[in-house]
Structure 1
Amino acid sequence: MKQSIKVLTISLICLFAANSMSFAQTTPPDKSKRPSQPATASGKFGNSTLTIDYSSPAVKGRKVWGELVPYDKVWRAGANEATTITTDGELTVAGKKLPAGKYSFYVMPTEKDWTVIVNSQTGQWGIKRGGETTRLPENDVLTASVTPKKSSIFNENLVYEVTKDGFVLKWENMELPVSVK
């Protein structure tokens, strides 16, 4: 009898431990506890809604443009997972047609004009171990040149703002307006 109770007790402990580990592995992480908080910007352009989902890093005393975010290198346009844009109807983004769908949004900053990149691959982490993006260029559906401008205020946290003319990426001392129709 004592042997049966021992076996039953050990079995229950193993079952509980396995169940706990299984639960821990399937529970999605709480993104609100990350240093770079999740954020969303959304707006209407005609009958279509554009939504931008991103993680908002902070400057934290660092020089962003040309250092934290290097020039001439594709960047995920946020932190953590690659930034996504979703539209429920066809739009014209930076002068080019974009069909309805969900896309990753990247930029390649330079000291002058920047390239905005809309890519059909979604759901990936934004960067690889070496620091380069997870973007696969063969999945690009739109690339366009856009001119950044100096911001009138300092933006500690990266923010996307949807305006009547499109959307604006704002961070540190820079704003990148992207036209949308």
Structure 2
Amino acid sequence: MKKSAVITTITCALALFMSLNMQAQKFAKLDASPLDISYLRASRNETPTAKVIYSRPQLKGRSLDKLAPNGKVWRTGANEAAEIKFYKDVTFGGKAVKAGTYALYTIPGESEWTIILSNDTDVWGSYNYSESKDVLRVKAPVTTGDAVEAFSIAFDGGKMYLAWDTTRVAVPVK
């Protein structure tokens, strides 16, 4: 092979490698509503009972009723609909639920929220929500507490807590 052909081949290979390498280093910006996970487990060494994956929108001076309007189905967070996975059969809000993964929707209200588990997982928002895919609905009373800027879900004492602004909602999980 001629020396010029070898140099051309090496030059082309390096150019291709560098263009691929430069492309691979472009990363998305940090999400404005970061993803979070909350677990229900008896101890760190045990298999969890439940796991919720959700995005955490922030108030940023906006009102809760504008971001999660009363009486309308809400994706329970931001971006994709929140998902809850039960590792074993449980009771959720006093109703039996089989082990599995479900979308977690809510319908906010002034005095109570409706919590919905749906078979329609891996969806963006609640834009295509269909009541026909509901597995169950439970009601949970609204209480108040200190203001929370970023929407939060936590498990404590056998309950799943939803908190945003001064609104608190708790659902028993056993």
TM-score w.r.t. the length of structure 2 is 0.80
Return the offset for 1:164. 1.5
Asked whether the equivalents of residues 107 and 114 of structure 2 are also in contact (C-alpha less than 8 Å), the reply is: yes
Return the offset for 1:44. 2.2
Give the 5 Å matches for 1:72-91.
Answer: 72-91=71-90
Judge which range, 67-76 or 100-109, deviates more.
Answer: 67-76
Q: Does 1:165 align with 2:158?
A: yes
Higher gyration radius (CA) = 2
- Residue 113 of structure 2 is matched in structure 1 by 114
Instruction: Deviation per CA, 1:42-97: give whole Å up to 9, x if none.
Output: 012697620000000111011113x2211110000000000000011001001111
Q: Does 1:152 align with 2:145?
A: yes
| Distance in 1 of aligned mates of 2:159 and 2:151 | 17
| Distance in 1 of aligned mates of 2:47 and 2:57 | 31
Return the offset for 1:113. 1.8
Counterpart residue identity of residue 86, structure 2 = T
- Where structure 1 has 5 or more consecutive residues not aligned to the other structure, the ranges are 1-8
Percent same amino acid among aligned pairs? 28
Any idea what SS the aligned residue of 1:41 has? strand
Q: Does 1:42 align with 2:36?
A: no
Q: Does 1:61 align with 2:55?
A: no
- Where structure 2 has 5 or more consecutive residues not aligned to the other structure, the ranges are 1-10
Asked whether the equivalents of residues 48 and 91 of structure 1 are also in contact (C-alpha less than 8 Å), the reply is: no
- Residue 5 of structure 1 is matched in structure 2 by none
Task: State the aligned residue count.
Answer: 168
Asked whether the equivalents of residues 39 and 48 of structure 2 are also in contact (C-alpha less than 8 Å), the reply is: no
CA 38–48 in structure 1, closer or farther in 2 if over 3 Å, else same: closer
| Distance in 2 of aligned mates of 1:34 and 1:47 | 29
Counterpart residue identity of residue 63, structure 2 = K
Asked whether the equivalents of residues 74 and 133 of structure 1 are also in contact (C-alpha less than 8 Å), the reply is: no
TM-score w.r.t. the length of structure 1 is 0.77
| Distance in 2 of aligned mates of 1:134 and 1:152 | 32
Any idea what SS the aligned residue of 1:148 has? strand
Return the offset for 1:133. 3.0
Any idea what SS the aligned residue of 1:147 has? strand
Give the 5 Å matches for 1:129-140.
Answer: 133-140=127-134
| Distance in 2 of aligned mates of 1:146 and 1:153 | 19
